[in-house]
Amino acid sequence: AQTVTQSQPEMSVQEAETVTLSCTYDTSESNYYLFWYKQPPSRQMILVIRQEAYKQQNATENRFSVNFQKAAKSFSLKISDSQLGDTAMYFCAFMKFHNDMRFGAGTRLTVKP
């Protein structure tokens, strides 16, 4: 079974600084997708960034980027120039082809002014 581990239950960062959230996963598949979702207090899950395992290039979306290490089964999220609106729960998710998404336990990120 695929498992996703987020080892940091809580993190905090000062506004405008950079923070990295960790995620590791376990799979025997070679083709799969990885996602980072953000869940603010409004509870709505919002896709932050997505990575296809067959792509070696790390995905980036504005201030958000990932460090995808396929051999190490690691998928960390870097948030640059943190903003107060980035305060939320962040979930790492794994999805192999033709299957459902599996989520990690989440990391609660607080951005401090």
Partner 1 sequence: KAGVTQTPRYLIKTRGQQVTLSCSPISGHRSVSWYQQTPGQGLQFLFEYFSETQRNKGNFPGRFSGRQFSNSRSEMNVSTLELGDSALYLCASSLVSMVGGAGGEAFFGQGTRLTVV
Of 28, 57, 85, 98, the one binding partner 1 by CB under 8 A: 98
Separation CA 19–CA 109 (nearest Å): 9
Q: Which stretch binds partner 1 (CB under 8 A): 10-18, 40-48, 58-66, 71-79?
A: 40-48
Measured between its terminal Cα atoms, the distance across the chain in Å is 41
Q: What are the φ and ψ backbone dihedral angles of 85, each rounded to 5 degrees?
A: -70, -5
16 binds partner 1 (CB under 8 A): no
56 binds partner 1 (CB under 8 A): no
Taking the complex as a whole, how short is the minimal distance between the CB of residue 107 and partner 1, in angstroms?
12
Q: Which stretch binds partner 1 (CB under 8 A): 7-15, 17-25, 60-68, 98-106?
A: 98-106
Of 12, 14, 18, 99, the one binding partner 1 by CB under 8 A: 99
Taking the complex as a whole, how short is the minimal distance between the CB of residue 100 and partner 1, in angstroms?
4
Q: Which is nearer to partner 1, 39 or 112 (CB)?
A: 39
Q: For the CA atoms of 66, 7, 107, 75, what is the dihedral angle to 10 degrees?
A: 10
Q: Is the torsion defined by CA of 52, 57, 58, 60 positive or negative?
A: negative
97 binds partner 1 (CB under 8 A): yes
Separation CA 36–CA 88 (nearest Å): 12
